[in-house]
Amino acid sequence: MSNSTYAIVASLLGILIGGHSMAQGPQPSIDLGTGDRVAKINLERLLMDDPRGIREPLFQLRLENFLATAKRSDFFTDANASGACDSPVREGFRCLELNNAQAGYIVTPVTNAECRFPYFRPMNHQTRPLYVYFDFRNYQFWIRVPDPERIYGPFYRDPVEKLKNAVIPYKERRSFAGLDLKFLSRRWEFPDEKAAMADRKSSDYDFVGGRISEREKEAGRLNSAFFRFRLTNNGKDYLFILYRNGRPDVTYLSMFRKERTWRLPWGRDTDAADFYDGQHLSWEALPPGSAFEFETKAGCFRPMLCGIRLYINEERGFRDPVAVDVRYPNQAKREFSRKNRPPPR
């Protein structure tokens, strides 16, 4: 084989893995998405043109039955390799690290009559990278999903091109003119502190064997409050609000003053579809020129800053809803008056 032929083959292989060097050592990484717009890889699309003739949706095949028998030791020279792309791979393999990406599939609920809208079910949290193990000799690849670790595949043909084609496209970034969410007021759940008091002679007041004590419940009731908000649609189009169990689905936000972005509750990503857990979800209409008020039970204590988030869409469905945020005031923790103060521990 001439030198020019070797050069052409090397160039093609470089393109195949996204233009990165084929040399051993640190392996390449690619960003299919961004921090605020994670690339959602639909595993079903990776089965298109599969030489094995698989055509049915992946979730109908049962994911457990689609797991490859491959193990990390099949791809790395060290049997105890971490599985990340910083470990030496076996000859004929390359490892690609996918940042800001989630692998999953589209689910259409059929058991919940109130929410038969397709949504994307991710197999990994957006903060954890995916790893692609590419066998360039046999032109096939696997996807490793961490926590819990699963290796899906094999998939066939060019991994970079196929992964890019499997990403679910986003809508254009947008906002809704005339949509306004405002904080209105706060009221204590127990304005009379005596109503929040527990039976202080109870044996469970201070210790209940690992459960929350009555003393802690008492302090929680004293500081429990309802916050009232108003959502107004002064625009010209119908909008739809994500509801859960007949009420607006509220996401509670928090951050310290020096921070610039909201903290989401543990386990929630930035996409409303990631929150689907089988409960009664629906999309309720907000006609043009209409408004409604609602209350939610929450608490916000100094020095934290707090807010809520609603998800709005121009259609009934989970595809790229718009997050609408508003802050509400924080407060100092409420204490019992001297005459009603709890006894010392």
Assess contact for 46 and 166: CB atoms under 8 A: yes
| 234 shares its domain with 324 | yes
Is 337 inside a domain boundary? no
| 312 shares its domain with 278 | yes
| 159 shares its domain with 230 | no
Q: Residue 230: which CATH number? A: 2.60.40
Range in 16-30, 71-85, 190-204 with the lowest mean pLDDT: 16-30
Q: Rounded mean pLDDT of 8-30? A: 43
| 137 shares its domain with 95 | yes
Is 316 inside a domain boundary? yes
Is 345 inside a domain boundary? no
Residue 92: closest CA among 44, 42, 138: 138
CA distance linking residue 216 with residue 342, whole number of Å: 11
pLDDT tens-digit series, residues 38-87? 888 888 888 777 776 665 555 444 554 555 667 778 888 887 788 888 88
Helix, strand and coil content of the chain, in percent to the nearest 5, comes to 15, 35, 50
Task: Give 10's pLDDT tier (boundaries 50, 70, 90).
Answer: very low
Total number of domains constituting the chain: 2
| 158 shares its domain with 183 | no
- Radius of gyration, CA atoms only, the chain: 26
Task: Give 288's pLDDT tier (boundaries 50, 70, 90).
Answer: very high
For residue 248, the enclosing domain spans 179-189+224-328
Is the predicted pLDDT of residue 224 greater than 80, yes or no? yes
Is 336 inside a domain boundary? no
| 153 shares its domain with 230 | no
Identity of the residue numbered 325: D
| 133 shares its domain with 238 | no
Taking the CB of residue 166, how many other CB atoms lie within 10 A of it? 20
pLDDT for 58 equals: 53
Q: Which residues of 236-258 are buried (b: 16+ CB within 10 A; e: fewer)?
A: eeebbbbbbeeebbbbbbbeeee
| 152 shares its domain with 91 | yes
Question: Bigger pLDDT: 232 or 146?
Answer: 232
pLDDT for 208 equals: 63
Instruction: Output the CA angle 47-275-131, nearest 5 degrees.
Output: 40
Question: Bigger pLDDT: 173 or 183?
Answer: 183
Question: Bigger pLDDT: 19 or 101?
Answer: 101
| 121 shares its domain with 184 | no
Residue 314: closest CA among 144, 205, 177, 210: 177
Share of the chain above pLDDT 90, in %: 12
Is the predicted pLDDT of residue 139 greater than 90, yes or no? no
Is 245 inside a domain boundary? yes
Range in 27-36, 94-103, 274-283 with the lowest mean pLDDT: 274-283
| 183 shares its domain with 142 | no
Task: Give 20's pLDDT tier (boundaries 50, 70, 90).
Answer: very low
Share of the chain above pLDDT 70, in %: 75
| 276 shares its domain with 143 | no
Is 102 inside a domain boundary? yes
Task: Give 18's pLDDT tier (boundaries 50, 70, 90).
Answer: very low
Taking the CB of residue 230, how many other CB atoms lie within 10 A of it? 14
pLDDT for 9 equals: 36
Is 204 inside a domain boundary? no
Question: Bigger pLDDT: 115 or 326?
Answer: 326
Identity of the residue numbered 286: L
Is 232 inside a domain boundary? yes
| 293 shares its domain with 235 | yes
Q: Rounded mean pLDDT of 227-235? A: 94
